[in-house]
Amino acid sequence: MSPAELRETRRSARNGWLLSTPALILLFCAAAGPLLIVVIYSFLAPGKYGNVEWQFSTAGWVGILWTKDIFDETWHLADAHLAIFWRSVSLSLLTTLFTFLVGFPTAWFIATRPANHRAFWLFLITIPFWTNLLIRTYAINEVLRKEGLVNTVLIKLHVLSEPLDMLYGPFAIFVGMTYVYLPLMVLPLFASIDRFDMKLLEAGHDLYASRWQLLRRVILPIVKPGIIAGSILVFVPSLGAYVTPRVLGGGKQMMIGNFIELQFGQGRNWPLGAALSMTLLIVVTVALLVYVRYAGRDGDARHG
């Protein structure tokens, strides 16, 4: 490269950095940087009245899985914690699976609409996606509660004589998470299906495949990146969910998010809370790396 070209390249890179600096500073101060403090806190000892004692301790990390008996000081597995982890993981997986089962036909439906109608259907999916999570969760509360829509309708139809108690439990959390995260499944699936060449189906039919065989042998393998993207996009926020289990779980049915909050509130075990946060972050990062590896190219399409 000539000196002039070199100057030009350097100038371009320098401007790129300079222009990005304010955003980077802000993000470092109020988003990424504080995570480092959480790492430090996870290795400190809990303070008596919350906060921490500034001395090294692995109690926070150990406390994720084990508890010390108050009486005989022996360590044993913390069943309550395991129950919370299991609830978080199983509900998140269930949510992911169910959003896929109903989200795939929905995405397919949108993608096969005439081009001029497609934007409208997509808009219908996108609106709930951007509206307040708390409001949507509360709306589910309205539907599921004892005097809510579902019970009212079922009683009117004489399917039920007594209202079902659906709220404040794993079922309500599952319904709520499915409801609030469904658009995150539909949008990347749509992006994938939209690129799918429908001529392939004609070719498949021509080669004697049934619709079911086409779905299994042609469609699903081709739209796989969208499926992976959608699954990760649903699984990650489900795992870290806080509002939905709080509003629909009724305080007793905690997920990891609520459990973390508890440590900073009544639990007064900040190091444990910090270690739990880091654990959650690590799991999510691994999931996102899988996403980048298998579906990175679909990433930009995820907001429709």
Partner 1 sequence: MAEKHFEVSRLPGFATTAIIVFVALYVPIFTLVAYSFNASMSVAVWGGFSTDWYVKAWSNQQIKDATLRSLIIACFAAAISTAVATMAALGTTRRKAFKGQTFIYVMINQPLMVPEIVTAVALLILFGMIKQATGIQGIGYVILAHSAFCIPFAYLPIRARLEGMDLSLETAAADLYATPWQTFRRVTLPLLAPGIAAGAMLAFVISLDDVVITEFVKAGGQDTLPTYMLGQMKRQLTPEINAVSSMLLLVTVALLTAFFLLTRKKNDG
Partner 2 sequence: MTAETIISARNVVKAFGQGAAAVRALDDVSLDILRGEFFTLLGPSGCGKTTLLRLIAGFEMPTGGQILLDGADITTLPPNRRPVNTVFQSYALFPHLTVAQNVAFGLQMLGKPAAEVKATTARMLALVKLDHLAGRKTAQLSGGQQQRVALARALAPQPKVLLLDEPLSALDLKLRKEMQVELKRLQIETGITFVFVTHDQEEALTMSDRIGVMSNGKLQQVGTAKDIYTRPRNRFVASFIGETNFLTGTAEDDALRIAGGARIPVPGLRAGGAATVTVRPEQLRLGPPAEGGLPATVRDLVYFGTDTHCHLLLEDGTELVARLQSPASGEAGFVTGQKVGLRFAEGAVQKVEE
Binders of partner 2 among residues 4 to 43 (CB under 8 A) are 4-5, 7-8
Q: Tell me if 162 contacts partner 2 by CB under 8 A.
A: no
Tell me if 37 contacts partner 1 by CB under 8 A: yes
Contact 260, 273 (CB under 8 A): yes
Contact yes or no for 181/99 (Cβ under 8 A): yes
Q: Which stretch binds partner 1 (CB under 8 A): 74-82, 87-95, 196-204, 222-230?
A: 196-204
Tokens representing 257 are 């998010």
The answer to the question of residue 58 lying near partner 1 (CB under 8 A) is no
The length of the chain in residues reads 304
12 makes contact, choosing from partner 1, partner 2, none, with CB < 5 to 8 Å by partner type, with partner 1
CA dist list (Å): 201 to 112, 192, 215, 264: 13, 15, 9, 55
Stretch that binds partner 2, among 3-11, 51-59, 166-174, 200-208 (CB under 8 A): 3-11
- Alpha-carbon span 236 to 249, nearest angstrom: 19
Tokens (6 digits) for 276: 């739990």
CA distance 238 to 241: 5
2 binds, among partner 1, partner 2, none (CB under 5 to 8 A by kind): partner 2
Burial 45-54 (b: 16+ CB within 10 A, else e): ebeeeeebee
Say how many residues touch partner 1, by CB under 8 A: 92
- Chosen residue from 1, 19, 23, 157 binding partner 2 by CB under 8 A: 1
CB of 70 to partner 1, least distance (A): 26
217 touching partner 1, by CB under 8 A:
no
Cα 108 from Cα 227, distance rounded (Å)? 12
Instruction: Report the partner that residue 124 touches, choosing among partner 1, partner 2, none (CB closer than 5 to 8 A by kind).
Output: partner 1
Q: Which of 24, 26, 39 is nearest to 281 (CA)?
A: 39
Residue 239's binding partner out of partner 2, partner 1, none, with CB under 5 to 8 Å set by partner kind: partner 1
Which residues 123-162 are close enough to bind partner 1 by CB under 8 A?
123-128, 130-136, 138-143, 145-149
Decide: 105 and 97 in contact? Cβ < 8 Å: no
Residue 9 or 213: the one with the smaller Cβ distance to partner 2 is: 9
Determine which residue in the list 28, 75, 77, 297 makes contact with partner 1, applying CB under 8 A.
28
Nearer to partner 2, 7 or 117 (CB): 7
Q: Following DSSP, what letter does each residue of 187-229 receive, concatenated?
A: HHHHHHHHHS-THHHHHHHHTT--HHHHIIIIIHHHTHHHHHH
Among the listed residues 62, 64, 160, 288, the single contact to partner 1 using CB under 8 A: 288
Q: Does 247 bind partner 1 (CB under 8 A)?
A: yes
Site of interaction with partner 2 (CB under 8 A): 1-2, 4-5, 7-8
